[in-house]
Amino acid sequence: MKNQAFWQWFDGFAAPRLSIREISFRKICTYLDTIDGPLTIVETGCARSSDNWAGDGQSTLLFDQYLGHGREGSIGHTVDLDPKATELCRALVSRRFEVHTGDSVKVLAEIGRALKAQQRTVYLLYLDSYDLDWNNPTPSAVHHLKELVSIIGAVRANTLVVVDDAPLVCQLVSDVNNQLQVISQPAVAGKGTYVAQYAQQIGASLLFSHYQAGWTGIAAT
């Protein structure tokens, strides 16, 4: 079910502002278009400003817009540790999105249990908490794997799991002519390092890999 009203807004307003995230946000929403009925979106790391599209991606605002255009009965949850961020986010999104303040690993477990009790499926799990230090990505990457584990009980085979700040990296060497030679296959890195390794080991499908990476098949059923 293509969400025509949303796509008019996306193409006219959001896409020109999204910079390197535009292509993957387009693929995320195109995937959601293939799912009929009410949607449930769960996000970590809420929108922290009103107009930082190129910097942060404004994912909460974008998802709220998507759910608000012809997706009756759909809901969203977003979690952030910073109370100032969640206070601002509540002022920016509709009541479709419930904004939670707290440690995302703990809160996601609570959200997952509640969604299972309501027999709701998470169709999009978007992980973007714990700011990434490119010189030391491990703490953020570990945290995002913990987030996935904490809500895995509400994830299904057709859940799209997306991690932000997760570009491909590879190892390069310079030859005698100062030309760069690739000596390792590109792999998802940044915040998505360990989610990507887990997804590969269990045979999940990498749906896209740009500045954000997305998988289906993280859960078996």
In the chain, where the domains are located: 4-216
**Predicted confidence band at 51 (pLDDT cuts at 50, 70, 90)?**
confident
120-145 tens-digit pLDDT: 999 999 999 999 999 999 999 999 99
Region 5-15: mean pLDDT is 95
**Predicted confidence band at 2 (pLDDT cuts at 50, 70, 90)?**
confident
* CATH code of the domain occupying 4-216: 3.40.50
Q: In what order do the strands lie in the sheet with 205-209?
A: 97-101, 75-80, 40-44, 122-127, 155-163, 213-216, 205-209
Q: Phi, psi (5° rounding) for residue 39?
A: -110, 155
| Distance between CA atoms of residues 217 and 219, nearest Å | 5
Q: Which residues pair with 68 in a beta bridge?
A: none
- Pairing label, strands 75-80, 97-101: parallel
| Distance between CA atoms of residues 128 and 116, nearest Å | 23
Q: Which residues contact 157 (CB under 8 A, 6 or more apart)?
A: 216, 217, 218, 219, 220, 221
